[in-house]
Amino acid sequence: MRWKNTVLAVLAAAVSAGLWATPAMAEEGDVTWTVRTASNSLGADRSSYSYAINPGGTVSDAMVVANRGTTALTLTVYAADGFTTGEGGLDLRNRDVPQTGVGAWASSGGTVTVQPGTTADVPFTVAVPADATPGDYVGGIVTSLTSPDTTQQVNVERRLGIRITLRVGGELAPSLAVSGMRVSYDGSWNPFAGGAATVSYTIENTGNTTLSATQAASVAGPFGWFRSDAGDIAAPPELLPGESWPVTVPVADVPAALLLTGTTTLTPLIIDPSGSRSMLAPVSAEATTWAVPWLLLLALVLLAALLTLTVRLRHRRRAREDARVAAAVRQALATAAK
């Protein structure tokens, strides 16, 4: 029987620990293995790999694979680029996808066989090209086991890996931008009750370093009147260079102030390979929308119409009274002349 395709199964343990921390465990029946970083001159008891390498430089390291099962285990070993998922986590690209960073620069022996109850060191090398762009890269070194699933007629790939964080030496240019800034308003028929505004935008990492940010958003009427703040906004995930993250922020109790301006301010946080963070200059963006208090406007129109009608009626009554007085005067003068 020919298996139709291959399904990638990154086990829960791999997602929460294996790809980004160690040790981690994968199980398939009697097949169980764990991975961890090797202890060497680069460090001991590391949760992941972190390197600073200049263009043209190399680093050699190793991963330790332990076979917790009862039979010999042969695993495929490869490197892959990392990316931020739509849920804000980090994952590794499939090996059949073209790799451009860590996945292209890290290499290992290709496979490793580990006897039951033993461990094996898997050496690998990260070789940065001489023309590599300076900045931050994230990927991982992965162990993989592919096996058939007879119920689904597919091959299932289970993998465990350890994160590799790499900073290529050179000029760093951290930069965040805000694009697609929009603000919308959903008002109430009660002109004195606040409505709900929504501020939405996309955060773009336009620099060459990994960045996160603190966020603030507000909505205000003309001249900054009736300002309403969004309150605390969850920080975006750490974005790799070239990545983006959509943000939607609700703002409550916003009065219908005719013309509303939504403002967002990001304070970028640069993250170095050791995990420390530094703040950069804030970045702001604005957008406007109409917030017409229709009921109040209708009431004002009716009031204006009523006032206009009242004035006109008064003018008419005054004109009629003036005409009556003038007629009486003419009649009196005519009578006196006789």
CB-count exposure of residue 268 (10 Å: 0-12, 13-18, 19+): buried
Each residue's pLDDT tens digit, 22-53: 444 555 555 689 999 999 999 999 999 999 99
Q: Is residue 208 scored above 80 in pLDDT?
A: yes
Q: Where residue 105 sits, what CATH number does that domain have? A: 2.60.40.10
75 plus 194 within the same structural domain: no
- Is there a domain that residue 44 lies in? yes
pLDDT value at residue 299 = 66
Calpha distance 158→163 (Å, rounded): 16
What pLDDT was estimated at residue 20? 40
Q: Domain boundary residue among 131, 151, 168?
A: 168
Average pLDDT over residues 226-233: 95
Check whether 6 has a pLDDT greater than 50. Answer: no
* Residue 1, domain member (yes or no): no
Question: What average pLDDT score do residues 78-90 get?
Answer: 96
Assess whether 41 and 147 both reside in one domain.
yes
Question: Residue 335: what pLDDT?
Answer: 78
Same domain, 247 and 312: no
pLDDT at res. 304 = 83
pLDDT at 338: 67
- 53 and 164, same structural domain? yes
Supply the mean pLDDT for the chain.
Answer: 87
Model pLDDT, residue 297: 64
Higher pLDDT, 155 or 215: 215
Residue 311 located in a structural domain: yes
Q: Which residues pair with 263 in a beta bridge?
A: 218, 286
Please name the residues in contact with 256: beta carbons below 8 A apart, sequence gap of 6 or more.
185, 187, 188, 191, 195, 291, 292, 293, 296
Q: Which of 146, 168, 190 is the last residue of a domain?
A: 168
User: How confident is the model over 265-305, as pLDDT tens digits?
Assistant: 999 999 776 677 899 999 999 999 998 776 656 667 778 87
The CATH code of the domain that includes 198 is 2.60.40.1470
Say if residues 218 and 265 touch (Cβ distance below 8 Å): no
Query: Domain check: are 164 and 16 in the same one?
Result: yes
Q: Would 37 be classed as within a structural domain?
A: yes
Q: Answer whether residue 266 is part of any domain.
A: yes
Q: What is the predicted pLDDT for the residue at 330?
A: 77
CA distances from 97 to 6, 15, 82, 93, 151 (A): 14, 19, 12, 7, 27
Structure confidence at residue 12 as a pLDDT band (50, 70, 90): very low
For residues 77 and 140, state if they share a domain: yes
| Counted domains in the chain | 3
Decide if 263 contacts 218 (C-beta within 8 A).
Answer: yes
Between 264 and 192, the higher pLDDT residue: 264
Under the phi-then-psi rule, with left for phi > 0, alpha for psi from -120 to 50, and beta for the rest, what region is 77? Answer: beta
* Assigned domain for 163 exists: yes
Regarding whether 79 and 50 lie in a shared domain, the answer is: yes
pLDDT of residue 306: 80
121 falls within a domain: yes
Of 106-120, 172-186, 222-236, 291-305, the range with the lowest mean pLDDT is 291-305
Same domain, 230 and 183: yes
Co-location of 147 and 252 in the same domain: no
pLDDT of residue 28: 54
* pLDDT (0 to 100) of residue 7: 41
Minimum mean pLDDT range among 176-180, 246-250, 265-269, 323-327: 323-327
- Read off the pLDDT of each residue in 222-247 and give the average, rounded to a whole number: 96
Q: Could you tell me if residue 183 is inside a domain?
A: yes
Distances (CA, A) of 100 to 87, 133, 236, 283: 23, 11, 24, 29
Domain residues for the domain of 281 are 176-292
Report the percent of the chain where pLDDT is more than 90: 65
Answer yes or no: is pLDDT of 307 > 90: no
pLDDT in the model for residue 108: 94
Question: In terms of domains, do 25 and 155 share one?
Answer: yes
- Looking at per-residue pLDDT, the higher value among 325 and 29 belongs to 325
pLDDT surpasses 70 at 123: yes
Q: Are residues 76 and 195 in the same domain?
A: no
Q: What is the mean pLDDT of residues 226-251?
A: 96
CA 238 and chain centroid, separation: 9
| Of the residues 168, 200, 227, the one at which a domain ends | 168
For the stretch 128-147, pLDDT in tens is: 999 999 999 999 999 999 87
pTM of the model: 0.78
Co-location of 268 and 121 in the same domain:
no
